[in-house]
Structure 1
Amino acid sequence: MLSWRGLFLILAIWGAIHPMYYFLRFMQAEGGGLGGLIDAWYVNDSTTGLTWDLTIAAIALTVWILRDTLQTRRWSCLLAIPATFCIGVSCGLPLFAFLRLGRR
């Protein structure tokens, strides 16, 4: 049977690979780099709203990670912060849960 920790690891891996697949496909099709991808996040109100939604979620997750890490001194949990901002909340949140459950 799959443990909670194992489930969160699978979700972190999925959250890293699946979105990145689409980001890379977009950048290859458009012939641009990261700048073109970021421009696409603001092409209409729907994508702008989603971008802000994920940005606010990433900031809230970062505050939670920092607070939890300062209380528990589990420094490995800080790895979830760059995962959140370099890959996405879909990777950072389950990675934090995976690392946090490793305390047991």
Structure 2
Amino acid sequence: MSGLRIVYLALAIWGAVHPMYWFVTFWQTEGWSLRLLIDSWYVNAGSTGLVWDLTIAAIALTVWVIAEVWVRRNWLGLLAIPATFCIGLSCGLPLYLFLRTRAV
């Protein structure tokens, strides 16, 4: 495995673990409510802007993944879509780059 692929994999793991740590910390403090977590993302204009920034980037990544999977038939790349929307862009993007750079 190349050094670049190792970096992508490490970033995908970090992008999965670090945000989930904060989500679980929030839920342990505030209760296990997804609705309350989402509401907390919109507490001010700065956090609302960040949510929209990440949402638009996640949609762009999804379009790119689908377009490339359609052409390259690298079906494993589709795993990046649920990773992006269930964990976050910080996991989905490096995961897709990791899967995309494997030998086909």
TM category (shorter chain) comes to over 0.9
Q: Distance in 2 between matches of 1:43 and 1:78?
A: 32
Residue 47 of structure 2 corresponds to 47
Q: Distance in 1 between matches of 2:20 and 2:32?
A: 15
- Which consecutive segments of 4 or more residues in structure 1 shift more than 3 A? none
Gaps of 5+ in 2: none
What is the Cα-based RMSD across aligned positions, in Å? 1.4
Q: Distance in 2 between matches of 1:73 and 1:8?
A: 21
Gaps of 5+ in 1: none
Aligned length: 104
- After TM superposition, the score normalised by the length of structure 1 is 0.95
Which amino acid in structure 2 is aligned with residue 35 of structure 1?
R
- After TM superposition, the score normalised by the length of structure 2 is 0.95
Q: Distance in 1 between matches of 2:6 and 2:21?
A: 23
